[in-house]
């Protein structure tokens, strides 16, 4: 299938911006009181900057809306080699890094090797599931607080974290309905099979009971922070970083976001699974229904091999499995990037 295209009107975008700006709790409240517009910060957005990601569009919009902020906000691409990315980040020395949990984990690894020459004060994560173990790894490695948010192309600011570290859902602007495998409502306190989203902010493309595929738990108890918005826990898509053999004998991390962006944007495939077989070999499984599967497989191999060179891999072998169904992962969504061995902090 093709990915959904979600059109947001100006009013909806204003709601997302306001929710992001006002509700995400500040790890340094005093600093925010003196500097509410973040003018004294250097904010680095680290992502797949050629991709179709909503957060990227949102960042570009922020720069247009607030020219003052344009000076303090810069975007960095994970599609370039990790050493180039590090050179750029070290030169900018951001105080705030907004990125995906797997990217934050990689930066934490890099910091442990002494290759990060600045000390960020806040890490904002979103876009992927953030496990407790990865959060600890990032907070210890980078020595600062992590603030996570939960969003999607369908609604960019579904949830935000309060100062008690709890995720609150913006249920004044959206309706979240946790459901079981039969589509029946799941009571509070239980993990759902999937979740239906109704967007109350966007009139241009109304979304009513849209199946997001995320597993959530809605809690009945009120949070100690005093907010009346419900506390939720989210298990979204979880793709693994892949540790591959590099040219210099060291291991190279391939980020799942980079791999999925490559396969979607450069190779034009959306139903796939990339499984690591060993530190030189990946197995690509493509959707059985695609008539042009061999051509698609060739495009994928080409994109992956080019990327392997950029990332400094020793060699890369891509085996393809065509016409085999893509298996489902731990969450309801198929896991698309699967490591050979789970990383210890994953």
Using CB under 5 A, which residues numbered 147 to 186 contact Zn ion? 162, 164, 166
Applying CB under 5 A, the span of 88-96, 124-132, 226-234, 322-330 interacting with Zn ion comes to 226-234
Size of the site for Zn ion (CB under 5 A): 6
Pick between residue 31 and residue 227 the one whose CB is nearest to Zn ion.
Answer: 227
Which candidate, 127, 117, 118, 150, places its Cα nearest to that of 20? 150
Residue 125 in the binding site for Zn ion (CB under 5 A):
no
Pick between residue 136 and residue 222 the one whose CB is nearest to Zn ion.
Answer: 222
Least Å from the CB of residue 226 to Zn ion: 7
Pick between residue 223 and residue 297 the one whose CB is nearest to Zn ion.
Answer: 223
- Each as own residue / partner, the long-range contacts of residues 268-272 (CB below 8 Å, 24 or more positions apart, any chain) are 268/296, 268/299, 269/296, 269/299, 269/300, 270/1, 270/2, 270/3, 271/1, 271/326, 271/334, 272/300, 272/326, 272/336
Diameter of the chain measured on Cα atoms: 59
Least Å from the CB of residue 190 to Zn ion: 20
Tokens linked to 256:
């799942």
Pick between residue 186 and residue 223 the one whose CB is nearest to Zn ion.
Answer: 223
- Residue from 223, 234, 258, 274 touching Zn ion (CB under 5 A): that is 223
- Residue from 225, 245, 283, 293 touching Zn ion (CB under 5 A): that is 225
Binding site for Zn ion (CB under 5 A): 162, 164, 166, 223, 225, 227
């Amino acid at each position: 299938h093709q990915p959904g295209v979600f059109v947001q009107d100006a009013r909806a975008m204003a709601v997302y911006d306001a929710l992001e700006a006002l509700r995400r709790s500040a790890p340094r409240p005093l600093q925010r009181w003196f500097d509410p517009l973040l003018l004294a910060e250097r904010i680095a957005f680290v992502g797949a900057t050629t991709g179709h990601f909503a957060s990227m569009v949102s960042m570009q919009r922020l720069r247009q809306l607030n020219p003052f902020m344009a000076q303090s906000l810069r975007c960095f691409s994970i599609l370039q080699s990790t050493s180039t990315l590090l050179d750029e980040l070290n030169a900018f020395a951001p105080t705030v890094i907004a990125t995906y949990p797997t990217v934050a984990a990689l930066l934490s690894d890099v910091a442990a090797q002494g290759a990060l020459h600045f000390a960020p004060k806040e890490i904002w994560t979103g876009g992927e599931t953030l496990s407790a173990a990865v959060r600890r790894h990032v907070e210890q490695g980078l020595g600062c607080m992590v603030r996570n948010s939960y969003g999607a192309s369908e609604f960019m600011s579904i949830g935000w974290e309060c100062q008690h570290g709890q995720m609150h859902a913006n249920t004044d602007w959206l309706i979240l309905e946790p459901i079981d495998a039969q589509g029946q409502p799941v009571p509070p306190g239980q993990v759902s099979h999937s979740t239906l989203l109704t967007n109350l902010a966007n009139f241009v493309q109304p979304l009513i009971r849209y199946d997001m595929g995320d597993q959530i738990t809605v809690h009945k108890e009120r949070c100690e922070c005093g907010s009346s918005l419900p506390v939720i826990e989210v298990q979204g898509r979880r793709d693994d970083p892949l540790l591959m053999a590099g040219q210099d004998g060291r291991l190279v991390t391939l980020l799942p976001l980079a791999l999925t962006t490559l396969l979607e944007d450069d190779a034009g495939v959306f139903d796939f699974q990339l499984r690591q077989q060993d530190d030189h070999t990946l197995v690509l499984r493509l959707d059985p229904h695609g008539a042009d599967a061999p051509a698609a497989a060739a495009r994928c191999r080409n994109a992956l091999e080019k990327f392997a060179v950029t990332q400094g891999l020793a060699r890369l072998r891509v085996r393809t499995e065509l016409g085999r169904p893509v298996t489902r992962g731990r969450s309801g969504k198929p896991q698309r990037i699967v490591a050979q061995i789970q990383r210890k902090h994953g």
